[in-house]
A = this chain, B = another copy of it.
Amino acid sequence: MTSTFIGNIEARLDEKGRMFIPAVYRKILATEESQRIVMRRDTENECLVIYPERVWNQRVEQLSEELDEWNPDDQMLLMQFVADAEYIEPDSQGRILLQKRNLQQIGATSDLLIVGMMNRFAIWDKQTFLNKRIDQREFAKTLRERMTKK
């Protein structure tokens, strides 16, 4: 059983638009069969999601199975999902270069936050994430209510 991406790690965007992938995450990526990773803006939130290739493939497959191959609307959905994704490759220091349009999509300043999501992880502008966060007490309450057996 291998580790998963958990936790949140502060990261800085340098002048050249580069961001390091935390060593903890790099180690997990290194255990993957394929070293390639895929980045896509999240469908729900203002953040970028990074998938190990295997996980990306699973996700696309899941969508393909669920959506109708001969329904044009469904196919448009699938196409758009794929069209906004791209392979990215870390440099020799383990940093990735973020494009201006990607940065724009998440309203990036130079303070970013890398957030684990088990089989993948997300890049947020730090402040955006903090604003989005449910406050601790509220979080506990919602979770409690949601999980308590009726």
Contact = CB atoms under 8 A, between A and B. Distances in A.
Interface string A26-49: 000000011010100001110000
B87 A134 contact: no
A84 interface: yes
A98 interface: no
Question: How many identical chains are in the complex?
Answer: 2
A44 B75 contact: yes
Contacts of A7: 82-87
B143 A77 contact: yes
Given A1-B53, A24-B87, A143 B6 contact: no
Contact of A83 (B1, B44, B115): B115
Contacts of A67: 146
A143 B83 contact: no
Given A1-B34, A76-B132, A80-B133, 13 more contacts: A1-B33, A3-B87, A7-B83, A7-B86, A24-B87, A43-B139, A66-B146, A74-B146, A76-B134, A80-B134, A82-B116, A83-B116, A85-B116
